Amino acid sequence: MGRFILHAAIACVAAFVGVSWILRGFPVSIINPVGVGELAALPAHLDTTFGDTSVRDAQKKLWELSQPDFGKPAGEQYQIRIDALQAANAYAASPCDPAMKAKLIAALTAYTRAWQERLNCKRSGQSLAGCGDKKIDDAAFAFSTPLDLQVREAFREAFEQGGVVKADIPAAVRFDSLQFTTPALWLDELPLCLPQMRANAIQE
């Protein structure tokens, strides 16, 4: 009889402990080898506040830019880029052809005007300071598609052939267009195309 009472008492204690453990959410004790002072000194790995989506937005933009068709302009805007790519490649192949030079300047002018329209900012002079960071960032992002990157590389190769000076570019787009050309056009203008310069060097 005494043994029965002992077992019953143990069962009641076990049941009480089990129910209390469940009601407290199944707590588990973990031995932490790091002291409290050392734990407080550990550096934080998260420096963004709740609701901050800047990291996610940046990752999304990078992913979008990696897609071949991202931001592919439709209609006229797409054609402006294609025309610019073709005109730049044609001039790079025949830099001494006046017709190719005229097409290159026309393509650069149209491309720069499209960028100005996307910027949508009224400026006094050449500075972009009054446009605001958002408009500048939006325009830069809109003109950073894979196709735009091809256009800029083609422009760079074309203008490195020489034969074009800043005065050849219409005044309305002259300053803004320099970002799509080459430093050779910004500072050391090359009025002669590369084949002519090489021919003159041989004769001298």
What is the domain partition of the chain in residue ranges? 68-203
Mean pLDDT value across the chain? 76
Query: Which amino acid is present at 161?
Result: Q
pLDDT at 181: 93
The model's pTM is: 0.63
pLDDT at 41: 46
- Asked whether residue 195 carries a pLDDT value surpassing 90, the answer given is no
pLDDT at 116: 94
Over residues 150-159, the pLDDT tens digits come to 999 999 999 9
CA distances from 29 to 19, 26, 119 (A): 17, 10, 60
Q: Average pLDDT in the 42-54 region?
A: 55
Banded model confidence at residue 198, pLDDT cuts 50, 70, 90:
confident
